[in-house]
Amino acid sequence: MAGTIKLNSGYEMPMVGLGVWRMEGKSIRDLILSAIKIGYRHFDCAADYQNEAEVGEALEEALKSGLVKREDLFITTKLWNSDHGHVLEACKDSLKKLRLDYLDLYLVHFPIATRHTGVGTTASAIGEDGVLDIDTTISLETTWHAMEDLVSKGLVRSIGISNYDIFLTRDCLAYSKIKPAVNQIETHPYFQRDSLVRFCQKHGVCVTAHTPLGGAAANTEWFGSVSCLDDPTLKALAEKYNKTVAQLILKWGLQRNTVVIPKSSKEERLRENFQVSDFTISDDDMDKIKAIDRKYRTNQPAKFWGIDLYA
């Protein structure tokens, strides 16, 4: 077990979780039940993944059969861009689909409000010009205060942000009554983002690494990006520690004190990704990994949005 990290909300979050992005409906049940049997307790979902209902069925089965208790699970989901003006309804919709009474963590998926398309519908709202239809009437501060209301209503235990840079995180800390507990960002050996990671941690915001393995096949297929899994430095270090490259990268993430949520659709990979607590990467080898940073983002929603929000 990789252990837990204490959030500024007072709750404990398991440091290794399972991301369910791009998990297909039929396979979800078996994957989630297998993951729970292996020891996973942290599952990272999102309305935009369009599979909350299937995840909910699997969780309900796991809870009803006594495989796991609700208080031992840590379930995250996310507010989609088109629901910034409908935070309460969107949260309730996710809870209903996930068959839960409360969420352990609810995140603002991206720091951008787009044209509302109806709660539970998460297609990107593209305008006639082929560009994301951004709603300029809803501020991130307004969205955040609606997130805070979810905590006081008992629907959500912790709230956080996702894909926020230093400036937006700083602003959120300034206007928040309830501080963001987490900032979930893309970070891996080719996109280390040390300044952002250290800024968040300095101010008590836990960093969760989405795409912690650099996206592997999924992002190559969707965005044409290259994964660090084939990096010669990482391959040599993995051999040295007698681990797979994925295990080495996940351990590197954990040693940075970040939470990692690798996605896998194969049971042997689920098991492998979870078994990272029996070795430590030396300071020298951590420095070697630091030296391969390419400042290379692999998750590029601009491909679908007609606009690069990171430009």
- pLDDT single digits (tens) 162-219: 999 999 999 999 999 999 999 999 999 999 999 999 999 999 999 999 999 986 665 5
C-alpha span between 257 and 121 (Å, rounded): 35
Among 40, 49, 106, 190, the one annotated catalytic: 49
Three-state SS for 185? strand
Q: What integer pLDDT is reported at residue 140 of this predicted model?
A: 98
- Side-chain half-sphere CA neighbours of 28 within 13 A: 25
The pTM of this model reads 0.95
Average the pLDDT over 231-251 and give the result.
97
C-alpha span between 216 and 221 (Å, rounded): 9
109 annotated as ligand-binding: yes
C-alpha span between 98 and 84 (Å, rounded): 20
Average the pLDDT over 289-310 and give the result.
88
Count of C-beta atoms within a 10 Å radius of residue 288: 16
Contact 71, 100 (CB under 8 A): no
Q: What integer pLDDT is reported at residue 227 of this predicted model?
A: 82
Q: What integer pLDDT is reported at residue 183 of this predicted model?
A: 98
49 among known catalytic residues: yes
